[in-house]
Amino acid sequence: MKINYLKKLIAFGFVGVLSFFLASSAGAFECKIKKSSMAKPSGYPSRALTMIVPYGPAGGSGQIAAAMAEAVTDLTGVSINRDHKPGGSGTVGMTAYMSAPADGYTVLEHIDDASSAHALDSSRPNPAIDLIPLVISQVTFSQIYIRTNETRYNNWFTFVKWVKAQNGKSTIANVSKEGSMERVTMKFITEATGMKIQQISFDKGAPRYGALLGGQVDALFEQPGDVRKFLDADKFKPILTVFNERPSVFADVPTHKEMGMNFEPLLRFRGFYVHANAPSERVKWLQWAFQRAYCQDSYQKFNESKFMTVIDSYRDTQGARDLIKSSIIQYRNVYKDMGLDVK
């Protein structure tokens, strides 16, 4: 029996989740962490930190990891070595992180995929319990992109018409993980429009973007900040924004709701974590360092360059936990409705 995912999404409360995201709308930036310095507990850290990043360096996670590492180092003088471990839509990096010593010298960058992975399989780490969120520093929306020089279609209407005429042979680049924010959102879009489109999987950002640029796929599902350089170079253009209203920077791009798709958008969030068993005094220092680093001019400029001021991107430890817990509940309910094996 066909499931109406869109009505179920609304019934499961994603309106509330979106409201949570928008609780502090974008506006004049105010640093929430007033302390500009903090004493090192018993000399910690006495050496460089390691940051495990479960995705490649070219994508959104790689970019935010570099920006936050720079901001923390500028603030504290402590170097951070980034260790990229892509694969399995974040599971390879998460596994590596959970195997590392819980001494506070290794931190983790991760995205909402960690929450959705736990929602599907409760044996996987719960980022609100097995980890301590240091800060969530990016929250953003998604879009669908085509090449700017595309001649077969030039907007959402003509794209949908063209896809339907291909009888399932058209393609869109996306991440590989079933149940991820990207895959679930594409499920909503294709059901709402009646499109049949093949999703070509790429875990790393660079091959995903290169596939659209080189014509190997017909479209791309991504977040705007991750493809900023292609937008600035006039190589890609968005034809659909998955958000409830048109952001001012994309005022000429229709939203999914304007195109008749009645679902609340799932948003991407990225943050930084430490193992829950790390020494508490070290955790406190890391919380200060990462939350204050969010206020650094270099990081704020980075977020602004990635369209991260449309939605309030900052969550401290408690705010991050609340967000993660709510997301897990919502994803779990949607997965059950989709008929997935929720464990």
- What CATH number is associated with residue 245? 3.40.190.10
Structural domain includes residue 148:
yes
d(CA 243, CA 240): 9
Strands 198-201 and 131-140, how do they pair? unpaired
Model confidence pLDDT, tens digit, residues 241-268: 999 999 989 999 999 999 999 987 888 8
Q: How far is CA 206 from CA 202, 232, 302, in A?
A: 9, 16, 19
Q: Minimal CA–CA distance to 10: which of 336, 333, 342, 310? A: 333
Percent of the chain with pLDDT over 90: 68
Judgement on whether residues 125 and 239 belong to the same structural domain of the protein:
no
Asked if residue 207 and residue 272 are part of one domain, the reply reads: no
Average pLDDT for 129-133? 98
CATH number at residue 119: 3.40.190.150
Per-residue pLDDT of 315-332, as tens digits, reads 999 999 998 998 898 788
Q: Which of the two residues, 60 and 218, has the higher pLDDT score?
A: 218
Residues 169 and 307 in one domain: no
Residue 89 has pLDDT above 60, yes or no: yes
Cis peptide bond upstream of 45, omega within 30: yes
Segment 106-131 mean pLDDT: 95
Angle among Cα 23, 24, 27 to the nearest 5 degrees reads: 150
What is the model's pLDDT at position 22?
A: 46
Q: In this structure, are 98 and 170 located in the same domain?
A: no
Contacting residues for 306 by C-beta, under 8 A, at least 6 apart: 60, 63, 138, 140, 224, 225, 226, 228
In this prediction, residue 101 carries a pLDDT of 96
Distance CA 160, CA 196 (A): 10
Query: Where in the sequence is the domain holding 36, given as residue range(s)?
Result: 5-140+267-338
Most confidently predicted of 4-13, 24-33, 121-130 = 121-130
Residue 98 in 3-state DSSP?
helix
